[in-house]
Amino acid sequence: MTGRTVRLGLLGAADIAVRRVLPAVSRAPGITLTAVASRDPDRARTLAAAYGADALPDYRAVLADPRVDAVYVPVPAALHADWVRAALEAGKHVLAEKPLTTDPRTTAELVALARKSGLVLRENYLFVHHPQHRAVLDLIARGAVGEVRAVSAAFTIPPRPPADIRYRPDLGGGALLDVGVYPLRAAQLLLGPELRVAGAVLSTDPARGVDVAGAALLSRDADGATAHLTFGMEHRYTSRYEVLGSTGRLRLDHAFTPPPDHRPVLLLEGPDGVRRHELEPYDQCLGGVEAFAHAVAGVEATGGPGGGTTDDPSDDPTGDEAGTSGAISTRQAELTADIQRQAQYAVGGDAR
């Protein structure tokens, strides 16, 4: 596809697509919105007109359109698996909202299908593309905090409107799948994938049947380093993580959803006192879209496996390979399922 633009189809006019991803697509080089489908035809037509695309009657029509090279799938989490599979079977590259699916077996199957088909499959964690995390990892690698002993990470949001899909168990709602997956991905970023879930709790709203808050403790058996994760959707907005080492501590606020004009500040506390590392603003949504377009272009140019489906992460944990690889998506799904099992066990259920 080198020398021409990735033509994107949209399956569903979700809020994140309208507010964040489509504006980024319009600014990103090498990718353009070509076709739109939505359960609401009027909404599809409005979006299509705004971006110079065509409104098609349904999702299947987008997948059947030969002009479409790749699709973005922002439908509710419980519907991801069916539409991601359908897109891959139609020969389309896929950018899917997180979580990729709601269970690890299906995630592994879709990653394998993408690899076999030579297609890019990306789970849309935008924060991994922000250079602030590379800066954190560089400081850790230079010994700024000594040996890493523990990570704490939190992502919490205020209550949503009563009809929000996050409160729908049939659509894959709940705090863990919506916001808890962010600190979980951060734990992998900072401590690596060799983590196990030592314990977890989930607070469930009985009227809605979904978890609205939770916490998890993860451990890295090789050296005993731990990660304490907090998440919820009945809280003050919080988006941060902290790395505690043998000689220092590093804190990052606005870790997961910083606005494009936000200037990140890394607070490093060590033997010499507190130092502020100020970084330049960065649009992580634009960066994520550009990375996806670059991966698709690379696959089409070489005929090789998709950048988002490889099991060989690069040395850069925030790069295209490691930040969004199929191996990490599969491990993410496994850890999420383990948190659910441990939480069940904590209230007297069977953790198997």
Residue 92 bears catalytic tag:
no
Contact between residue 295 and residue 122 where contact means Cβ atoms under 8 Å apart:
yes
Q: What is the pLDDT of residue 1?
A: 43
DSSP bridge pairs for 155: 231, 239
The mean predicted confidence, pLDDT, of the chain is: 92
Domain 131-281 has CATH 3.40.47.10: no
Q: Is the dihedral of CA 204, 19, 242, 100 positive or negative?
A: positive
Please tell me the total number of residues recorded for the chain in this structure.
Answer: 352
For helices 104-117 and 326-346, give the axis angle rounded to 10 degrees.
Answer: 170
Q: What is the pLDDT of residue 350?
A: 61
Look up residue 40 and give its DSSP letter: S
pLDDT mean over 277-296 = 97
Which one from 98, 134, 168, 254 is the annotated catalytic residue?
98
Q: What is the pLDDT of residue 302?
A: 72
DSSP bridge pairs for 37: 11
Kindly tell me if the per-residue pLDDT of 310 is higher than 70.
Answer: no
- Write out the CATH class of domain 6-126+285-307: alpha beta
pLDDT by residue (tens digit) across 119-130? 999 999 999 999
Listed by start position, the domains of the chain span 6-126+285-307, 131-281
Look up residue 75 and give its DSSP letter: S
DSSP bridge pairs for 274: 269
pLDDT by residue (tens digit) across 38-94? 999 999 999 999 999 999 999 999 999 999 999 999 999 999 999 999 999 999 999
Q: What is the pLDDT of residue 315?
A: 35
Give Cα separations from 212 to 139, 160, 247, 344 (angstroms). Answer: 34, 11, 36, 15
* Strand-strand pairing, 31-37 and 6-11: parallel
